[in-house]
Amino acid sequence: MKSCLVVYYSRTGITQEVAQRIAAGCACDIEPIRDMLPRDGVPGYLRCCYEAFARKTPPIAPMARNAGDYELVILGAPVWVGRLSSPMRSFIRANAARLPQVAAFCTMGGSGGDRALDEIAALCGKPLVARMALADREIKGERDRDKIGQFTRTAAAAPG
C-alpha cells in the first residue's frame, strides 16, 4: 500500500465522516483543513455562497502534515453553489506544486459534484487517479459503502 494522506474540508461533518471512513479503510493519515473565518448562521452561509461563486481563496490554518511527504493524497470537500467549497481551493492553491498523485471526492445535496471535481483536477494541474461524487442521502447506505470502497481501491491501485 502506498503512503497516503486524506485531506478534507467539512463545514457540518458530512465530508468528515466520509474522510474518516476512507482513512480507516486504508489505514492512512488524515488531516482537516481548518477555516479561519466563522461560517455559522446566515452570514456564514452567505459567505460560503459568495466565496464559492467568486472562486475565492479564504485564509486557512497551517497544517501539521506535508502533502509532499506522501505518494497519494485524497482530497475531500463539499459542493457549494455548484462549485468547489472555497477552503479546499485555498489548500490546493497553496500546495499544488508539492502534490503527488491525487484522488478526490465531493459531498453534495444532489448536484454539482462533477463540476467541483473538475475544478480540483484543474487546480492540481493533473488528472485525478480516482474521483467520486456522493449525495448526502446516499452516505449511510450499503451502496455507498461499496462506492467508497471502490473509490479507495482505485486510488490505491493507480500506477505511478
Q: Which of 34, 55, 68, 82 binds ligand FMN (CB under 6 A)?
A: 82
DSSP 135: E
**Which CB atom, from 5 or from 101, has the smaller least distance to ligand FMN?**
5
Q: How many residues would you count in the chain?
A: 160
Q: Which of 107, 128, 130, 156 binds ligand FMN (CB under 6 A)?
A: 107
Q: How far is the CB of 28 from ligand FMN (least distance, A)?
A: 19
- Using a 10 angstrom Cβ sphere, with 0-12 exposed, 13-18 middle and 19 or more buried, the burial of residue 17 is middle
Q: Establish if 105 lies at the interface with ligand FMN (CB under 6 A).
A: no
Closest CA to 22 of 153, 158, 160, 127: 153
Q: Which of 108, 124, 133, 156 binds ligand FMN (CB under 6 A)?
A: 108
Amino acid 42 reads V
Q: Establish if 70 lies at the interface with ligand FMN (CB under 6 A).
A: no
Q: Which of 4, 7, 22, 79 binds ligand FMN (CB under 6 A)?
A: 79
Residue 147 and residue 32: Cα distance in Å, rounded? 22
**Which CB atom, from 11 or from 131, has the smaller least distance to ligand FMN?**
11
Q: Which of 34, 111, 125, 157 binds ligand FMN (CB under 6 A)?
A: 111
Binding site for ligand FMN (CB under 6 A): 10-16, 45, 48-49, 78-82, 107-112, 136
